[in-house]
Amino acid sequence: MLIWLGVTLLYPLVSSAALSLENVRIIGSAGRFVGLANYLSVLSSAAFWLALERSVVWVAGNAVAQTVLAMASALILEQAFPGVRVARTWIVLTWIVPTIVIVIVWRWLLSTSGGMINPFLIELGVIRRPMGFFSSSVSAMTTLILINSWRWFPFVAVMLLAGLQRIPGELYEAAAIDGASRFARFRRITLPLLQPTLFVLLVIGTLLSFNVFDIVWLLTGGGPADATTTLPILIYRTAFKGYRLSEAAAMSVIATLLLMGLAILAVRTLAPREEVR
Amino acid sequence: MRGRNVVFASLIALLAASGLAQADQVQIRLWHMEQPPQRVARVQQLIDEFNKSNPGIVVKQEPQNWGEVYAKAPAAIAAGNAPEILFAIPDFTTVIRSLGALTSVKDFTDKLNAEHHFIPATLRPYEYDGGVWAVPLYNMAISLWYRHSVFDKAGLKPPQTWSEWRKDAETLTKAGMYGAGLPANKQLYTDQTVYAMMVNNGAAQLFNDDGSLRFNNPKTVEAFSFYKDMFKYSAPDATNWTWGEAEACFDANKCGTVLQFTVISTYNEQGGDPADLGVAAVPRADTEASSNTISYSNAAMILAKDPAKRQAAERFISFLLEPANYGRFLNMEPGLFLPATEDGAKAPSFWNDPLAVKYKLQIETMIANSQHGMLFGFTTDKVFPSIGAISAQNILAETLQRIVTGGETPAAAVAAGQKEMEQAAK
């Protein structure tokens, strides 16, 4: 197992690190050792820091949107109502559909040449004329976050639902008898007892969100005008469009170290220390 | 038990025999980027005919997509697993050549030229540094598309100049359409439409003779200014359009004019009336004498090093260019792919296709427009390898996005675009 992990995990990481110390441009071409030149270039590049900033916005936006959507869904699905079993099964639909299908569906829905969303919003009086959801920096990032959150919130909801179902019902009954309101029960019982689940989701969610490439690339390509160029997009473009493979490898190494550092910091500072009674 | 042994032994013998037979055959893998199912089917039909008439050669196609092949092909070459034939556009050829994967095919193209007479504009982008690096197969050139009925209703004539086009777009937009369906996404289609404006304002050349960049010049700034003016008549989501979306806008009769290689297939599928489909040359700046356009000569690179495989690859390409087959090859997408040879342009196999019959007038206009086609980075006999990276990074489109989304002035954006190109050229 260790050998397998070493081969599949360590080898690519070490190869990337070695590549980052050379000046390889096109994949397959030769390069020579240049030491830390790529790292200096990357760390002094405005494009890198802007992409990192956008990645932070992306991660934070997804965390908020997905947590709100997932928590609301999980609280509803925890109730007993007709069809709850069907709902619990089919909520994962957006999660299991391939990304390319999701991209095609959303491009069509948001299109001004026949999509449903614009006429619907005009009918509701929200907008007066069709809008391009990817035509400005703010709307493009917001739309991407909402679409990605729509795609992934079922995964979070399923985890939260499992966490909710572990909370003893007697606690809620006792609180209700003591006169606690619904909100008070949510704040004093649900949230604290969900902490371990929320913590795991925070760490995993951050790592997964940060590395999302497909939906961003397919929907906006990092545009308009780089407004949605997160770090994974920049790395891909640098490697395969800019033909600066070693520089992209340096960015990847920096991103890996950042994420490792974040994960370690999160475990040390935010991990639940003891079972909340 | 004995019976089973006999069956088993026979199976082994059969497999061995087929393996030996395959070992005698020359295997040719063809990578092309024409992924739509009808194109793949047409290519397969031609491959089957070739394989049948050439028993010692087996050609197999492996469709790729343009978005991935710039990375995938170099990786395959590095892994020693390159296809024998790889379709290309001119800037992609510079990338593959920079890996040392190409040998000049000048002798072969000279032979084909004597037989079929290449249209010079299709061969020129592959002829530099004393060699010819790919064999032209088909041409694509952008034209302006419109509907006669829409123009007649608005009292308009097809525009020939920028001021006429601006006026037409404004009139059509007031009537409830998007007067000019122009893209502004950071991708190749936007590069193409931007360049179609540049070549119509005397800004066709990206490089000086010494290889330095001359993108930042007043003519280029004027072209981007015009694009910015026209963009206000485009759809609000055009900053995110990919190739199919301008065409979809036109087919839905929401865009009054579009710049496209062709809209014939989808227009026809939507039940459009051929008599209503108008096509014209890309409008020129008011100060220019004639119209030009962007044209892409698509070609086939031969990557095989083994002499038998090279010969087999040449035989397959020759087969495709035979007039009896060539028209069918071009009509894998009727009305999109234009002939790269003079005898191909007259071939009954091209003109007999049902869509070519239906849209004959339009296709004749497209061929006429393509004669004035140019491609950025390939306008002189000097080709600089950095054009590969400049094209791959869609810097023309990025420059436009700085203007229409980023709010920069055309002059500032073009200056920034020049810096990006210089960075890419390093």
Q: Kindly state the helix (H) or strand (E) to which residue B28 belongs, with its residue range.
A: strand B26-32
- To the question of domain B22-140+297-367 being in CATH 3.40.190.10, the answer is yes
**Paired residues of B294 in beta bridges:** B374
CA B405, CA A224: separation in Å to the nearest integer? 7
Helix (H, G, I), strand (E, B) or coil at A140: helix
Are the Cβ atoms of B78 and A240 closer than 8 angstroms?
no
Are the Cβ atoms of B236 and A134 closer than 8 angstroms?
no
CA B106, CA A252: separation in Å to the nearest integer? 42
* DSSP H helices in B280-409: 307-321, 323-330, 342-346, 348-351, 354-358, 360-370, 387-392, 395-404
Contacts of B402 in chain A (CB under 8 A): 225
Specify the pLDDT at position A276: 45
Question: What's the rounded mean pLDDT across residues B282-308?
Answer: 96
**Model confidence at A40: pLDDT above 90:** yes
Q: What is the pLDDT of residues B241-269, one digit of tens each?
A: 987 889 999 999 999 999 999 999 899 99
Q: What is the pLDDT of residues A191-232, one digit of tens each?
A: 888 888 888 888 888 999 999 999 999 999 998 989 999 999
Are the Cβ atoms of B245 and A111 closer than 8 angstroms?
yes
Q: How many A-B residue pairs are in contact by the CB < 8 A criterion? A: 110
Question: What's the rounded mean pLDDT across residues A40-64?
Answer: 96
**Model confidence at A184: pLDDT above 90:** no
Torsion of CA A190, A195, A201, A203, to 10 degrees: 160
- Is there a shared CATH topology between the B22-140+297-367 domain and the B143-294+373-424 domain? yes
CA A154, CA A159: separation in Å to the nearest integer? 9
Domains of chain A and any CATH numbers: 39-99+131-270 (1.10.3720.10)
User: Residue B239 in contact with residue B405, Cβ under 8 Å?
Assistant: yes
User: Nearest-CA distance from A108 to chain B in Å?
Assistant: 10
User: Nearest-CA distance from A16 to chain B in Å?
Assistant: 15
Specify the pLDDT at position B22: 54
User: Residue B165 in contact with residue B257, Cβ under 8 Å?
Assistant: yes
Backbone φ and ψ of B344, nearest 5°: -65, -35
Q: What is the pLDDT of residues B340-382, one digit of tens each?
A: 999 999 999 999 999 999 999 999 999 899 888 999 999 887 8
Name the CATH architecture for the domain at B143-294+373-424. 3-Layer(aba) Sandwich (3.40)
Cβ atoms within 10 Å, residue B115: 14
More confident residue, A83 or B259: B259
Are the Cβ atoms of B401 and A224 closer than 8 angstroms?
yes
B367 CB-contact burial (10 Å; exposed 0-12 / middle 13-18 / buried 19+): middle
Contacts of B186 in chain A (CB under 8 A): 221-225
Q: Tell me the percentage of chain A whose pLDDT exceeds 70.
A: 97
* Residue A275 pLDDT level (bands cut at 50, 70, 90): very low
Of A29, A226, A242, which is closest to B389 when you measure between CB atoms?
A242
What residues of B are in the A interface, CB distance below 8 Å?
A: 70-71, 74-75, 77-79, 95, 98-99, 184-187, 235-240, 245, 248-249, 252, 254-255, 388-389, 392-394, 398, 401-402, 404-406, 424
Question: Does the CB of A219 have a partner CB in chain B at under 8 Å?
Answer: yes
Specify the pLDDT at position B93: 94
Specify the pLDDT at position B293: 95
User: Nearest-CA distance from B46 to chain A in Å?
Assistant: 31
**Model confidence at B225: pLDDT above 80:** yes
Lowest-pLDDT range of A127-136, A268-277, B83-92, B326-335:
A268-277
Are the Cβ atoms of B398 and A29 closer than 8 angstroms?
no
Domain ranges of chain B: 22-140+297-367, 143-294+373-424
Model confidence, pTM: 0.83
* Of B234, B71, B197, B166, residue with least CA distance to A135: B234
Of A110, A227, A240, which is closest to B70 when you measure between CB atoms?
A240
Question: What's the rounded mean pLDDT across residues A230-246?
Answer: 93
Mutate to test the interface with A, among B390, B405, B422, B423 (most CBs of A within 10 A): B405
Question: What's the rounded mean pLDDT across residues B200-228?
Answer: 96
Specify the pLDDT at position B1: 59
**Model confidence at A277: pLDDT above 50:** no
More confident residue, B132 or A166: B132
Of B99, B184, B248, which is closest to A28 when you measure between CB atoms?
B99
CA B269, CA B247: separation in Å to the nearest integer? 12
Contacts of B70 in chain A (CB under 8 A): 240-241
* Of A104, A112, A223, A140, residue with least CA distance to B235: A112
Q: Tell me the percentage of chain B whose pLDDT exceeds 70.
A: 95
What interface predicted TM-score (ipTM) does this complex get?
A: 0.76
Are the Cβ atoms of B392 and A113 closer than 8 angstroms?
no
User: Residue A23 in contact with residue A11, Cβ under 8 Å?
Assistant: no
Specify the pLDDT at position B96: 93
* Residue B19 pLDDT level (bands cut at 50, 70, 90): low
**Could you write out the three-class secondary structure of B133-150?**
CCEEEEEEECEEEEEHHH
Instruction: Quote the distance between the C-alpha of residue A44 and its chain's center.
Output: 26
More confident residue, B411 or A78: B411
Name, of A169-183, B65-79, B159-173, B376-390, the range with top average pLDDT.
Answer: B159-173
Count Cβ neighbours within 10 Å for each residue of B381-414 and write b for 16 or more, e otherwise.
eebbebbbbbbbbbbbbbbbbbbbbbebebeebb
Name, of A222-226, B163-167, B338-342, B383-387, the range with top average pLDDT.
Answer: B163-167
CA A122, CA A131: separation in Å to the nearest integer? 10
User: Residue A131 in contact with residue A118, Cβ under 8 Å?
Assistant: yes
Contacts of A112 in chain B (CB under 8 A): 235-237, 254
Name, of B88-92, B160-164, B294-298, the range with top average pLDDT.
Answer: B160-164
What one-letter code names the amino acid at A68?
V
* Of B280, B296, B297, residue with least CA distance to B144: B280
Question: Does the CB of A134 have a partner CB in chain B at under 8 Å?
Answer: yes
Of A113, A137, A241, which is closest to B249 when you measure between CB atoms?
A113
Mutate to test the interface with B, among A27, A29, A147 (most CBs of B within 10 A): A27
CA B417, CA A54: separation in Å to the nearest integer? 22
Of A26, A107, A132, which is closest to B99 when you measure between CB atoms?
A26
Q: What is the pLDDT of residues B104-122, one digit of tens each?
A: 999 999 999 999 999 888 9
Q: What is the mean pLDDT of chain B?
A: 92
Helix (H, G, I), strand (E, B) or coil at B11: helix
Question: What's the rounded mean pLDDT across residues B392-404?
Answer: 93
* Residue B2 pLDDT level (bands cut at 50, 70, 90): low
